[in-house]
Amino acid sequence: MERKNYIIAIDLGSSNVTVAVGEQNAEGLLDVVCAVRKPAEGVNAGKIENIELVGNAIREAVSEVEKRLGISISEAYAGISGDFVRCARHTDHVFVSDPQNGVSQKDVAGLFDRMRNVQAPDDETIMERVPQNYVVDDAQEVRNPVGSFGRKLSSTFNFILCHKTPIQRLDMALKRLGIRILGVLPDALAVPEAVLSPDEKEEGAAVVDIGGGVTDVTVYYRNVVRYVASIPMGASAFNRDIRTMSIPEKHVEQLKLQCGSAVADLEPDDKCVRVPGRIAREEKVVLHRNLATVIEARATDIAEFVVQEIKDSGYFGKLAFGIVLTGGSANLRNLDELFRRVTGMEVRVAVPETGLSEAAKGRVKDPAYATVTGILLRGAELGASSVLVDLPAPAPTTAPAPAAAGRPADVSGAETAVRRPEPRSEVPPRPQPRPWTQPQPQPRPWNQPQAQPQPPVPEEPKQEAEQPMPEPDFEPEAAPENGGKRRRGFGSIVMNAINKLNNSFTTMEDDPDQEI
């Protein structure tokens, strides 16, 4: 076994858990080697409610990844999301050490040190500190303050906070599986890394990640994360509403993906689908438009919450690239059209593309993989995970030589365990049921007792010469001991021929005129 540097990401959602493995290629792009997605239970709106159910789901996904790649995972980055994640702003300042020469990098570092000393409330922890802007002498806002003249340097930082309990439960669930968390990353900061282009980050865009139980909103502007929020509502709300139409739960998800739509007036009036009931005779006919009406009502609620969060960020109307939809629920038909109607902004559905190799883009070409891909990209910046790789045993270059007489063949231990029972001492002296399986023309030493009576040895002819001449007719074969059945193997034929020749030679010695 050897160690290899992979980046391992675990995305635990409200309805699914995704485990992905990636590595950076020579060009600095991320190559997603493997991604496995499994259903998960025990998570409600991003918070772990049942650690046993969560552990089973993660174990199943991790085991499949390990089996595919032949690795052993012991470290990983994990994402977290829920209404317990929020942002808060804090402003502080330092005085420039040398106003005559302008702001130096040392002054900026001193401002960061002051921000690192800011403490979170007792029940929360600071996950990220994101500088929003720099202001010199309370008047001039600059992106890079180094070199600017002034006496006072101030900045506003955006603190990403999270309650401690959800992080502790996630850490506990992974420790039970022998996995150490290298870092817990907010999903709201990871997703934009995988779906936003540099232009979208610069000109402004709001990333809306609609998951199973949570919808994350991240506002980017001037290449800086300006605002993050989590709405405790997602695709599971669609499913609950569809069930009110007397649809069995096991058919809800499939019905939503195949026939669902977020805009009712785009569906025909006469198109319907038959849904199986509890028994075959209880089929239910559902109109596509009625199904879309139920979905549209809940999707409108989510879109309105998103608009409110963008307004609270202070950047509504400033985002040139509008809204970028992603997440598993972004695959719902006409969902982007609904958001256009509700928000009045440009909307597109995004799949992971930024920072990925061409092969990786094909493997994760689905909005559902946006979060885990973003965690991989953030993990690549922080440092790869060390995993154990199981190396296959080298195949032999040449076939083993056949065993000489009386010497065992040189084979591996596993093969020896299979072949060793052949010469066991417990073999009875009776003939084998399949005598034709013996490859040697002469019987093996341990099989000699199985043959018919031994022919006369060379020393005995002198004694036999004094005896009366034997009868000229020979017995064709001695009857075997096993039930009187005649042996028809190659070994028995050779032994019969040898017996006849030996007896003939003995007879000729006694009577040279005897014809054979």
Whether residue 27 is predicted with pLDDT greater than 50 in this model: the reply is yes
Residue where one domain finishes, among candidates 308, 333, 349: 349
Whether residue 186 is predicted with pLDDT greater than 90 in this model: the reply is yes
Domain region containing 458? 430-510
Residue 246 pLDDT grade (very low, low, confident, very high; cuts 50, 70, 90): confident
Alpha carbons 59 and 51: distance in angstroms, whole number: 12
Residue where one domain finishes, among candidates 349, 368, 395: 349
Report pLDDT for 138.
80
Q: How many domains does the chain have?
A: 2
Task: Quick: pLDDT tens for 270-307.
Answer: 898 888 876 666 788 889 999 999 999 999 999 999 99
Alpha carbons 173 and 104: distance in angstroms, whole number: 45
Strand partners, 202: none
Residue 471 pLDDT grade (very low, low, confident, very high; cuts 50, 70, 90): very low
Report pLDDT for 201.
95
Q: Are residues 339 and 221 in the same domain?
A: yes
Q: Where are the alpha helices (DSSP H) in 227-365?
A: 235-243, 249-259, 288-313, 335-343, 358-363
Question: Does residue 213 lie in a domain region?
Answer: yes
Q: Are residues 344 and 213 in the same domain?
A: yes
The token pair at 390 is: 């199981």
Report pLDDT for 489.
52
Residue 320 belongs to domain with CATH number: 3.30.420.40
Residue 428 pLDDT grade (very low, low, confident, very high; cuts 50, 70, 90): very low
Question: Does residue 247 lie in a domain region?
Answer: yes
Alpha carbons 360 and 364: distance in angstroms, whole number: 6
Question: Does residue 311 lie in a domain region?
Answer: yes
Q: With contact defined as beta carbons under 8 Å apart, do 321 and 198 qualify?
A: no
How many secondary structure helices (H) and strands (E) does the chain include?
A: 14, 20
Report pLDDT for 490.
52
Of 285-289, 383-387, 396-400, 448-452, the range with the highest mean pLDDT is 285-289
The token pair at 255 is: 């019905």
Q: Are residues 204 and 345 in the same domain?
A: yes
Report pLDDT for 26.
86
Average of per-residue pLDDT across 402-429: 40
Window from 5-14, 153-162, 241-250, 426-435 with minimum mean pLDDT:
426-435
Residue where one domain finishes, among candidates 328, 349, 370: 349
Amino acid letter at 338?
L
Question: Does residue 364 lie in a domain region?
Answer: no
Q: Is 283 helix (H, G, I), strand (E, B) or coil?
A: coil
Instruction: Give the helix/strand (H/E) hosting 6.
Output: strand 2-12
Whether residue 496 is predicted with pLDDT greater than 90 in this model: the reply is no
Alpha carbons 443 and 447: distance in angstroms, whole number: 6
**CA-to-CA dists, residue 319 to 52, 341, 475, 485, angstroms:** 43, 17, 108, 96
Amino acid letter at 272?
C
Can you point out the beta strands (E) in 96-150?
124-136, 140-142
> Nearest to residue 37, comparing CAs of 54, 7, 57?
57
The residues, ordered by sequence, that sit 6+ positions from 317 with a Cβ below 8 Å of its Cβ are none
Average of per-residue pLDDT across 425-436: 46
What distance separates the 2 farthest-apart alpha carbons in the chain?
138
Strand partners, 219: 206, 227
Measured at the CA of 234, the angle between CA 224 and CA 250, to 5 degrees, comes to 145
What number of other Cβ atoms are within 10 A of residue 314's Cβ? 12
Question: Does residue 269 lie in a domain region?
Answer: yes
Residue 435 pLDDT grade (very low, low, confident, very high; cuts 50, 70, 90): very low
Report pLDDT for 274.
87
Task: Quick: pLDDT tens for 66-77.
Answer: 999 999 999 999
Strand partners, 31: 23
Report pLDDT for 275.
85
Residue 21 pLDDT grade (very low, low, confident, very high; cuts 50, 70, 90): very high
**Cα torsion 30, 34, 37, 40: sign:** negative
Average of per-residue pLDDT across 2-15: 86
**CA-to-CA dists, residue 167 to 72, 243, 382, angstroms:** 24, 32, 19
End-to-end CA distance of the chain: 72
Q: Are residues 335 and 227 in the same domain?
A: yes
Which pTM was predicted? 0.73
Question: Does residue 478 lie in a domain region?
Answer: yes
Question: Does residue 90 lie in a domain region?
Answer: no
Q: With contact defined as beta carbons under 8 Å apart, do 229 and 215 qualify?
A: no
The token pair at 510 is: 């006694």
Question: Does residue 461 lie in a domain region?
Answer: yes
55 against 445, higher pLDDT? 55
Report pLDDT for 276.
81
Instruction: Give the helix/strand (H/E) hosting 386.
Output: strand 385-389
Alpha carbons 195 and 200: distance in angstroms, whole number: 10
